[in-house]
Amino acid sequence: MRSKATLLLGSALTLGVALPSLAADWQALPDQAPSPADNPTTKAKVQLGKTLFFDPRFSEHGTLSCNSCHNVMAGGDDNRPNSIGMHDARGGRSAPTVWNAAFYSVQFWDGRAATLEDQAKGPLVNPIEMGMGSLQDVLGRIDKIPGYKPLFEAAFPGEAQPISADNAAKAVAAFERTLITPNSPYDRYVKGNKKALTEQQVRGMKTFDSLGCTSCHSGANFSGPTLPIGTGFYMKFPTYPGSDYDAKYQLTADQGRFEATKQEADRNLWRVPTLRNIALTAPYISNGQVPTLDEAVRVMAKTQLNKDLTDAQAADLVAFLNALTGEFPVITMPRLPASPNMSVIPPVDPHLKEKPHG
């Protein structure tokens, strides 16, 4: 016989409905993220991926890198409601943090990419992000920078053509799998150090479970259960429409996964985001319209659980969520390979009109 938890999970995955609270299974974050069999993590691959991640020359005007929107010197996002892309374009969604993204089973807010490797290719050729015409254009710039050849050869030894779009994406993904923030106060607490959390944070932890927050934000990453890569954990948002928050924060303007699949069953479904380091990634929700964490917990309680929080409950929840800020590894800025005696960035026509904003 299938367990109650399994039946509830299956219903949620299929219908996108909110779950009643189950007994929380508190898990610490692993110190390492798993890597796929076809892209094992190596030191050389991580070094190449980090270099590509920080290099702005793979955007149309040479002004934006992956790190521009996913700043790993901070919370892994850009703390803006919407990121600023080429030609001052704005996307409709807030940049999600790249920290601990390796623990997701799908990528992007709507889960349209199955893997980190798939995700890494998208922003390069998105006209309102990095704006390159094609992945072949990106490779053309890499080819013009001599210092990249030995980096690709070291990362992918023995390959006849190591410089490729697939290998570039594999390297960036390998680097992103090192972006893990374990050993938060919460992690230390669930490992047995009962002094790691304050009394208020413990109250918040209990409130988080009793309200039903763990129905969605479960597991070590607080982003749902561990699922096979490519199988997303989605929830309907808002589950309880009709509150004042809908209009205040434009909660139903974006239809979530439906925008990618055009399947009616996916309307208003969203991949459940991690709560790790959430204190550092304001503003909140997918469109970045909620300015503070205190307001965010109130919005989520009302829209997802149909509950109005007291000020004390909200304060306790915020205190607990602050305990999910982990330890960040030291990241040194890479020295980017030079292109001696030439620029790889084409000149910009000063009379060129700006492209429309997405």
Catalytic one among 129, 153, 159, 259?
A: 129
Length of the chain: 358
Half-sphere exposure for 86 (CA within 13 Å, toward CB): 26
| 259 among known catalytic residues | no
Whole-angstrom distance, CA of residue 236 vs CA of residue 240 = 9
Q: Binding site for heme c: which residues?
A: 66, 69-70, 213, 216-217, 300
Q: Binding site: which residues?
A: 66, 69-70, 213, 216-217, 300
* Distant-in-sequence, close-in-space partners of 100: CB < 8 Å, separation ≥ 6: 29, 33, 179, 180, 181, 221, 274, 276, 277
List, as one string, the DSSP characters of 232-278. Answer: --EEESSSS--SHHHHHTTTTSS-BTHHHH--GGGTTEEEPPP-TTG
Cβ(321)–Cβ(198) under 8 Å?
A: no
112: left (phi over 0), alpha (psi -120 to 50) or beta: alpha
**Token output for 331:** 């990241």
Cβ(327)–Cβ(182) under 8 Å?
A: yes
Whole-angstrom distance, CA of residue 80 vs CA of residue 318 = 20
Whole-angstrom distance, CA of residue 169 vs CA of residue 220 = 26
Identify any residues that bridge with 256 across adjacent strands, giving them in sequence order: 269
Cβ(46)–Cβ(175) under 8 Å?
A: yes
Whole-angstrom distance, CA of residue 354 vs CA of residue 154 = 40
Please identify every residue annotated as catalytic: 129
